[in-house]
Amino acid sequence: MDNSYSHKNSWAVIDLGTNIIKLGLANQEGKKIMYFRHQDFPVFIGKNGINQNIIQKDAEIRLFEALDECEKILIEEKIPKPQTYVVATSALRNAHNGQEIALKIRQKYKFFIEVISGDREAGFIAEGVKQGFPKINEKILIMDIGGGSVEFILTNGYKIFWQKSFEIGATRLKEKYHRTEPISDLDLYRLMIFLEYELASLREICFHYSPQYLIGTAGTFVSLAEMHLLNLGTPDISSHGLILSMAEFNNLYQILINRTYEQRLELGGLEEFRAELIVIAVCLLKNVLLMTNIDKICVSEYALKEGYLQKVIFPE
């Protein structure tokens, strides 16, 4: 690409997730980052290998096909390679061949790529939510459900009291606890027992701090918001900032867990690539709400990639 035609104040960030590659393009305007394009690429790089800590060859091919598409968009938008950042999470950090794939990405595209720890991932997610909700002034629990890991951050918008990344993402859990369509009562019970043990530290910290509500980032939460808005007959309203009550969430939960994959594909507001994992994701969310006594969910479209780019451009 001829960088003489590129925009000096334009940036790109690619969130290389376990299921979805998320591309964000933004302009820097003084101390603000203004996003002008978002695009998602469902690649499912953790499929059939995440619990064995391996990225299969077919998944690697899908990954590079998606990155080829990202590169075309960057050329079209005239964003230079030095201002393009790739942040990789659970799938690459845990896979035996993760560093090898990261090196291939660096060599082929000349992007800066960083495979981050779970703790750093949680910190960037908190920063992303802060950009989306700059006026938070009460204790909240942030939850980000990925394919490989789930991050929790307890904060008041200014100070982080606690944060932790758990390797219990939707792709990992689906292989073990969603074995039939619809999901069985036995698998729901097995999942509940597992989460009771795995998330004991979350229960304890929330008992101590009593967060007022949960902010859920992207993915599952945007899907729930879009389904809810469609049910209300208001699909054109932005999902960012939407608040779901426990009753409204429970209604969506029952709709999802009682349907087969084919039936879920027919639901309005649910993108096809989310239909496979949405059940295990809402089961995870349901258990978290019960163990923390939180009864309100706020939806954030800002998450990891927005927080990461914020820290790249304004590292102070």
CA gap 237, 197 in Å, rounded:
38
Domain boundary at 64, 83, 115, which?
115
Residues 150 and 89 in one domain: no
Residues 162 and 72 in one domain: no
What is the distance between the terminal CA atoms of the chain, rounded to a whole angstrom?
31
CA gap 33, 83 in Å, rounded:
13
* Digit-coded pLDDT (tens) for 94-131: 999 999 999 999 999 999 999 999 999 999 999 999 99
Give pLDDT, residue 8: 78
Q: Is residue 309 part of a domain?
A: no
CATH number of the domain within which 24 lies: 3.30.420.40
Residues 156 and 285 in one domain: yes
- Given the structure tokens 């960037």, which residue do they identify? 124
- Given the structure tokens 């939460």, which residue do they identify? 221
* Digit-coded pLDDT (tens) for 176-225: 999 999 999 999 999 999 999 999 999 999 999 999 999 999 899 999 99
Q: Is residue 177 part of a domain?
A: yes
**pLDDT confidence bin for 316, thresholds 50/70/90:** confident
Residues 285, 148, 24, 271, CA torsion sign:
negative
Which candidate, 184, 152, 155, places its Cα nearest to that of 169?
152
Q: Locate all alpha helices (DSSP H) within the chain, ordered by sequence.
A: 57-76, 90-94, 98-109, 118-132, 170-177, 185-198, 200-209, 219-232, 246-257, 261-265, 278-292, 304-313
Residues 157 and 198 in one domain: yes
Residues 181 and 83 in one domain: no
Q: Is residue 13 part of a domain?
A: yes
Give pLDDT, residue 4: 36
Q: Is residue 128 part of a domain?
A: no
Give pLDDT, residue 2: 41
Q: Is residue 264 part of a domain?
A: yes
What are the tokens at 204? 């304890």
Can you tell me the mean pLDDT for 7-24? 94
Residue 316's DSSP bridge partners are none
Residue 56 — φ and ψ, nearest 5°?
A: -70, 160
Element (H, E) at 123: helix 118-132
Residues 203 and 293 in one domain: yes
Can you tell me the mean pLDDT for 145-172? 96
Q: Is residue 187 part of a domain?
A: yes
Give pLDDT, residue 3: 40
Domain boundary at 86, 115, 144, which?
115
Residues 140 and 278 in one domain: yes
Residues 80 and 7 in one domain: yes
Question: Helix and strand tally (H, E) in the chain?
Answer: 12, 11
Residue 43 has pLDDT above 50, yes or no: yes
Which candidate, 107, 103, 110, places its Cα nearest to that of 82?
110
Give the Cβ contact number of residue 141 at 10 Å: 25
Percent pLDDT > 70 in the chain is: 98
* Digit-coded pLDDT (tens) for 82-91: 999 999 999 9
Residue 85's DSSP bridge partners are 13, 112
Which candidate, 163, 158, 167, places its Cα nearest to that of 141?
163
Residues 59 and 146 in one domain: no
What are the tokens at 46? 């953790």
Q: Is residue 126 part of a domain?
A: no
* Digit-coded pLDDT (tens) for 240-249: 999 999 999 9
Are the C-beta atoms of residues 149 and 170 closer than 8 Å to each other? no
Are the C-beta atoms of residues 218 and 300 closer than 8 Å to each other? yes
Residue 282 has pLDDT above 60, yes or no: yes
Residues 104 and 144 in one domain: no
Output the average pLDDT for the chain.
95
pTM of the model: 0.95
Are the C-beta atoms of residues 314 and 306 closer than 8 Å to each other? no
Give pLDDT, residue 295: 96
Give pLDDT, residue 314: 95
Number of domains in the chain: 2
Q: Is residue 224 part of a domain?
A: yes
Residues 108 and 166 in one domain: no
Residues 38 and 141 in one domain: no
Are the C-beta atoms of residues 65 and 119 closer than 8 Å to each other? no
Which candidate, 113, 66, 116, places its Cα nearest to that of 89?
116
Percent pLDDT > 90 in the chain is: 95
Instruction: Quote the domain boundaries for residue 146.
Output: 135-304
Residue 5 has pLDDT above 70, yes or no: no
Residue type, 230: L
CATH number of the domain within which 161 lies: 3.30.420.150
Domain boundary at 69, 86, 115, which?
115
